[in-house]
Amino acid sequence: MCCLFGMFDYGGNLSGKNKSKMLAVLAKECEARGTDATGIAYNHRNGLAIFKRPVAARRLKMRIPNGVTAVMGHTRLTTQGDEARNQNNHPFQGNLSGQSFALAHNGVLYNDKLLQRTEQLPATNIETDSYVAVQLIEKQETLNFDSLKYMAEQVEGSFVFTVLDRQDNLYFVKGDNPLCLCHFPEYGFYIYASTEAILVSALKKLGLPLAQGKKIAADSGDILRIDRSGHITQGEFDDFKIYQSYRLRTMRWLDCEPSYTGTTADDAYEAYLDELKSVASCYGYDSDDIDQLLIDGFTIEDIEEALYCHCGEV
């Protein structure tokens, strides 16, 4: 339950000061989904810059240099890996033959430890589950649709990933978690956040109604890439594992498959549910309310989205 955010100024019409202001407003709205840490990544003359701190977005100073095309951001609600250890925060840096890239993730992965063993991934001091995605891309020794497809089909859990390479290609790997990407062709930029409610609230404060832009559709299994010219190309991956996970969760809540209880996936799901109930309690919803919604057939992702839409309105 974190938040992805960012913008892509392919038209070159915005100064660093303009982008800094816009991202500061957007990041502050993203606090609805996490205040434990905030980070951004962008390319500049000296290479890939990643700036992150274990602070809420309003306390992170956004200073984007002139000439920056793409900025990728993340606000964090900690699920694994102490945010006080800054290496556990997003975005993460990966390296491919001297070419660095940045990756951020919204969601929870529950097979990261298994993948580290079975794929013989290098030991690391980073404790966050998301970092296994970086290592899987590095193992493919390239960053493109194929390597992102490989990564997305190996991980199990909930996710949307954003990935920025040194050529200012910005990728979106869309799993089951929400994403709202909007294009403003009149101004020559894209802007995005994890939920439409957050993006609408930020755009309103910036004087840019969502209706002036064009929402870019992204479904589970899609991989989108925006290049320096602002052109979007699309790949895909098999999202079977995502919906297999949904099926298992639903069966568990309907008591159809009790053997699912106690598995690694179940432990991660219970932790995820506990965190959602904790946040929900701040807005007047108790544990029984959430349990009843699950019994009524809503998924935990449905409930999370509804909760944060509500939070964006208060």
Quick: pLDDT tens for 99-123: 899 999 999 898 999 999 999 999 9
Quote the pLDDT of residue 256.
Answer: 44
Question: What does the pLDDT look like over 226-236, one tens digit per residue?
Answer: 999 999 999 99
- Which token pair is 135? 């290592």
pLDDT in tens, 119-139: 999 999 999 999 999 999 999
pLDDT at 245 (0 to 100): 55
Average pLDDT over residues 21-36: 95
Q: Mean pLDDT, to the nearest integer, of 83-111?
A: 94
Mean pLDDT on 181-190: 96
Q: Tens digit of pLDDT for each residue in 38-55?
A: 999 999 988 999 999 999
pTM over 0.95: no
pLDDT at 254 over 70: no
Q: What percentage of the chain reaches a pLDDT higher than 70?
A: 84
Model confidence at 281: pLDDT above 90: no
pLDDT in the model for residue 303? 79
* pLDDT value for 304: 72
User: What is the side-by-side order of every strand in the sheet holding 3-8?
Assistant: 47-53, 37-44, 70-76, 3-8, 189-193, 180-184, 214-216
For the cut 50, the answer to whether the pLDDT of residue 203 exceeds it is: yes
Residue 229 CB neighbours (<10 A): 8
Q: Domains of the chain, with CATH numbers?
A: 3-238 (3.60.20.10), 241-313 (no CATH)
**Mean residue pLDDT across the chain:** 87
